[in-house]
Structure 1
Amino acid sequence: MIFMLIFNMKYNWLFIFMLFISPLLVISMNSWFSIWINMELNLMMFIVYLMLNNIYIYDLCMKYFLVNSFSSMLFIFMMNFLLFYYNNMFFLMIINISMMLKLGMMPFHFWFIDLMMNLNWISNLVISTWQKIIPFFILMFIYLQNLVLMFILISSIFSMIFSMNQIYLKKIYAYSSINHMCWLLMSLIFSELIWMMYFFIYMMINLLLMFMLKIFNINYLMDLFYKFSNKYMKIFFMFLMFSLGGLPPFLGFIMKWYLIFYLINNYNFFILLILIFFSLIFLFFYLRMLYMNMFINYMNFNLMKFYTIKLNFNTILVINFMIMFLSIFVLYFYI
């Protein structure tokens, strides 16, 4: 079913190849100018993908282009200045802010929320995971710790506040993505391996979750109790939400567990308290979604008959557990 969704999309193979290979090419580059060119190439390929697979969003494509091209312009200008003024704090700060703009961190989150609300689920998956690799890779080498911590605190607090009383799932997942970006930035400060494993697990959870929401065409909280007519889908959706919220012993808790271990060893108790507290608030939002899905008898609200798509539940569950045990194995031998 996942492959059917992929092949029903409109795309050009060259554009898709360049879109998904460009973040990987950045890892092998040793020049800031080459990284900037690859970043602009990735931007243009993603805009083409958006215009082909989302209708009536040409103004949003222009907004995405203006925001990301402005941040790329800041990046290349400040990099040229750093050639003459090595390790100048002002230029490094502007570069960090430009990457926060690309990541959609608060207070630069308005374009990201607007896009997430109007794109389909597959495009939301790409913009919330794959398009974040290049900014994270740049921040891996030139981050300013105090500035990054300030963005982490602001984004954690306000993403929780703005998520209250939301009924539109895409908006909830947009603010959830900002909250997870805080954990990813924190892991980037302490260990690149922790960041890689966290990002990989977060991407896999979002892949399974957003494909499920795409298949059943779920956009609002009220859709959860009458579009999930398969009990296995309900259970699998519950597992994914628990994992996304970081509830032990699920997969999403593993990476938060190791990051908590690093934060305790480095005596960053205040940052740790902030991250855990607001993650628990997000877990409450996920439990509210599960209440709509699991504990309301959908037969009493059978407003219309929906065609139930049968997915191979056992296969997806085995993949989830394989990823969990692989992450535990790698972290045990390398940390």
Structure 2
Amino acid sequence: MFKNSASIMFFITLASGVMITISSNSWLGAWMGLEINLLSFIPILMNNNNVFTTEAALKYFLIQALASSSFLFFILMEILFKKITLNSNDFMITLLISSPLMMKSGIAPLHWWFPSVMEGLNWMNCLIMMTLQKIAPIILLSLLLNNILMNLISLTSILFGSIGGMNQLSIRKIMTYSSINHIGWMMSALMIGENLWIFYFTIYSMMSITFISAIKLLNISFINQISMLNNNLWTPKFMIFSLLLSLGGLPPFLGFLPKWIIIQILINNCMTFQATFMVVLSLITLYYYLRMCYSSFMILHSEPSWNMLTKMNNTPLNYSWLLLTSLLGLLLTPITIMFM
């Protein structure tokens, strides 16, 4: 990921832009942090040897520039309205300010740019898009939205993220719609409390880092390439399958734990319809995760007589920590349930 000292500098300023936005006490300071974050991420995306990466970087810059200019315009409009009139429409202004933030983070229904941009990036930039780039806009949304709007955005993101990934063959697009689905769960967690959102985001980031690291080691990008892997690579296959089930929220994997806490709190607060809706759509999400690894789970399944040979050094240093994380994803949930 860090090819030279310039990429290290851009990554540091990228993280500092997120911190400026989070710690700012004014909307103008938050906008400045978002701009620093954007201008630092564009050079990281650029790759002169890949035309798809250049196209994705251009699309990302145009969308983010449009969202940033709209965000600044609506902030100034709110300031002017409050000076001119005493009875301003706070609900409408809240919707207008939150729309650019939803576009920046890829929250449904303003997620239309997200899959096409992710398809042209390498795996490390995809990881940054799914994790680090979500923090600042979601924190700002939590300061704006009330529980009703946050509930509506949560259900919409879970719906689009579940249905959108059903007919996808690219692993990047599947992870994109999975990220949109998880954003919906994060918005529900943020509606309950900030600590629960941090807990959910930490687990999701850990699972995403481990899964993308395993996929990057195997150098695969599509579903049909998984069945063509060398049969001797059982350890990476086990890691991928356990992490996919954990991302889908299947018990007793680690990804089930934050979803179980959110569902339990929603039911205790008499929000049974929302909890039922989220659980049913999570089953759809679990379907396209299982589609990636269902054939390898079966005892009698067809495999090609020739398999892809991956140039991967089978040493413990390559994927020992990946195996440890996938095992923790399997064992940590039942241990936590026992002590709760």
TM-score of the pair, normalised by structure 1 = 0.88
Equivalent residue letter for 1:267 = C
Q: Which residue of 2 aligns with 1:78?
A: 74
Q: Residues of 2 paired with 1:61 and 1:11: CA distance? A: 18
Structure 2 residue 57 is the aligned partner of structure 1 residue 61: yes
The alpha-carbon deviation at position 139 of structure 1 amounts to 1.1
Q: Residues of 2 paired with 1:150 and 1:27: CA distance? A: 24
Q: Which residue of 2 aligns with 1:23?
A: 18
The aligned runs of 1:28-107 (5 Å cut-off) are 28-52=23-47, 55-56=50-51, 57-85=53-81, 88-107=90-109
Q: Relative to structure 1, is the Cα distance of residues 90 and 327 closer, same or farther in structure 2, using a 3 angstrom cutoff? A: farther
The aligned runs of 1:273-312 (5 Å cut-off) are 273-295=276-298, 300-310=304-314, 312=316
The aligned runs of 1:160-309 (5 Å cut-off) are 160-229=162-231, 230-295=233-298, 300-309=304-313
Equivalent residue letter for 1:269 = T
Equivalent residue letter for 1:308 = M
CA contact (8 A) 1:247 1:253 kept: yes
The alpha-carbon deviation at position 185 of structure 1 amounts to 0.8
Q: Greater share of helix residues, 1 or 2?
A: 1
154, 160, 173: which one pairs with 1:158?
A: 160
3-state DSSP of counterpart to 1:225: coil
Q: Residues of 1 paired with 2:146 and 2:189: CA distance? A: 14
Aligned CA-pair RMSD:
2.9
Q: Relative to structure 1, is the Cα distance of residues 174 and 215 closer, same or farther in structure 2, using a 3 angstrom cutoff? A: same
Q: Relative to structure 1, is the Cα distance of residues 278 and 96 closer, same or farther in structure 2, using a 3 angstrom cutoff? A: same
CA contact (8 A) 1:184 1:199 kept: yes
Q: Relative to structure 1, is the Cα distance of residues 328 and 20 closer, same or farther in structure 2, using a 3 angstrom cutoff? A: farther
Q: Which residue of 2 aligns with 1:3?
A: none
TM-score of the pair, normalised by structure 2 = 0.87
3-state DSSP of counterpart to 2:46: helix
Q: Residues of 1 paired with 2:288 and 2:219: CA distance? A: 20
3-state DSSP of counterpart to 2:228: helix
Q: Which runs of 5+ in 1 are unaligned?
A: 1-5
Moved more, 64-73 or 202-211: 64-73
Equivalent residue letter for 2:324 = V
Percent identity, please. Answer: 33
Q: Tell me the matched-pair count.
A: 329
Q: Residues of 2 paired with 1:227 and 1:324: CA distance? A: 23
Q: Relative to structure 1, is the Cα distance of residues 76 and 330 closer, same or farther in structure 2, using a 3 angstrom cutoff? A: farther
Q: Deviations over 1:287-323 (max 9, x none)?
A: 1111244447686432443333325344334345668
7, 10, 19: which one pairs with 1:12?
A: 7
